[in-house]
Amino acid sequence: QKEVEQDPGPLSVPEGAIVSLNCTYSNSAFQYFMWYRQYSRKGPELLMYTYSSGNKEDGRFTAQVDKSSKYISLFIRDSQPSDSATYLCAMGKSNTGKLIFGQGTTLQVKP
Amino acid sequence: SQTIHQWPATLVQPVGSPLSLECTVEGTSNPNLYWYRQAAGRGLQLLFYSIGIDQISSEVPQNLSASRPQDRQFILSSKKLLLSDSGFYLCAWTEDRATEAFFGQGTRLTVV
């Protein structure tokens, strides 16, 4: 079993839709969680970072962490064509600094 | 502000040739540095990480090596490239062990 599982998609939605991206993990030692956006042929760009269970909001993006269920989500409200990219979840243990990534979900937002 | 530079952006190398990819970070001191590889349609695999000069850990046995000649410089090398070394290589840095990672723009390596 992989430490982090992420549905690869692709996911296609109309402009303005609410998008839900999800990852599950198996190792309860993970303590901090991130979401990255990666455009084609570019490096990943950090979107959200959170250290605790609950919700964290930043503009149209909301990151949700449920440590009891080992489940994290990224919600995108009012999705735009510019949101079309691959979204990667990542998580780490505080004593190592190493991140484990999901395989990424490819999102297409159609105008 | 901190910036990370990675070059070259694209590289095509024949099998058996050497490799040297360079990464530098500006605007911070004593960063933790990382090399990742991303295969097509897959997530990132950690190859090496370094918490300081002469402190480099390898995560995956492979045909590659890493060095950190200066505090903010991280180099990925190979003496003889294999076809399986093709991929998208990303350098990243963190300020500490439990903080956000910031990535360079990557090097797309094709071994032919």
**B4-62 pLDDT per residue, tens:** 999 999 999 999 999 999 999 999 888 999 999 998 767 899 999 998 888 999 888 78
Say how far residue B101 (Cα) sits from the centre of its chain: 13
Q: Which residue among A41, A92, A100 sits closest to B98, beta carbon to beta carbon? A: A92
Count other C-beta atoms under 10 Å from residue A48's C-beta: 21
Task: Count chain A–chain B contacts defined by CB atoms under 8 A.
Answer: 64
Secondary structure of chain A: what % helix, strand, coil (to 5)?
5, 55, 40
Cross-chain Cβ contact B43/A88 below 8 Å: yes
What's the confidence (pLDDT) of residue B97?
67
What number is the average pLDDT over the span A20-35? 93
Cross-chain Cβ contact B43/A51 below 8 Å: no
Q: Taking CB atoms and an 8 Å cutoff, what residues of chain A touch B94? A: 97
Give the pLDDT band of residue A53 (cuts 50, 70, 90).
confident
What number is the average pLDDT over the span A13-25? 97
What tokens were used for B87? 């991929």
Cross-chain Cβ contact B42/A94 below 8 Å: no
Q: Taking CB atoms and an 8 Å cutoff, what residues of chain B touch A8? A: 41
What number is the average pLDDT over the span A10-28? 95
